[in-house]
Amino acid sequence: DAGVIQSPRHEVTEMGQEVTLRCKPISGHNSLFWYRQTMMRGLELLIYFNNNVPIDDSGMPEDRFSAKMPNASFSTLKIQPSEPRDSAVYFCASSLSGAQPQHFGDGTRLSIL
């Protein structure tokens, strides 16, 4: 069975550029989560969706970050404009419902030069 699929796996870009990260959750899962992982701060929840609706975006660092879930099988996390401090590994996870165990993708390693 396919797990959570994220793309790209790696992204290197210059500061000021727009970055779009993509996620395909496990089919049938109703909840989707975006996380950011750094050595300093660990794994932080940025935003999560339930049935394609954003439920909690309190973890989104600032207005440069936005996330969408246009349908049950696709979500994007966009950073515009990107800054060096956005460099991190970004994970997408999905679950059957908000309270169920989460299944993580393999992440996107983002480097902003």
Partner 1 sequence: TQLLEQSPQFLSIQEGENLTVYCNSSSVFSSLQWYRQEPGEGPVLLVTVVTGGEVKKLKRLTFQFGDARKDSSLHITAAQPGDTGLYLCAGRKNRDDKIIFGKGTRLHILP
Among 45, 52, 72, 76, binds partner 1 (CB under 8 A): 45
Tell me the per-residue interface mask from 2 to 31 with partner 1, x by CB under 8 A, - otherwise: --x---------------------------
Q: What's CA 62's distance to the chain center, in Å?
A: 15
Least distance between partner 1 and beta carbon 112 (Å)? 20
Least distance between partner 1 and beta carbon 37 (Å)? 9
Pairing of strands 10-13, 108-112: parallel
Under the criterion CB under 8 A, does residue 61 sit at the interface with partner 1?
no
Q: Give me the count of residues in the chain.
A: 113
Name the site residues for partner 1 (rule: CB under 8 A).
Answer: 4, 41-45, 48, 56, 91, 93, 98-99, 101-107
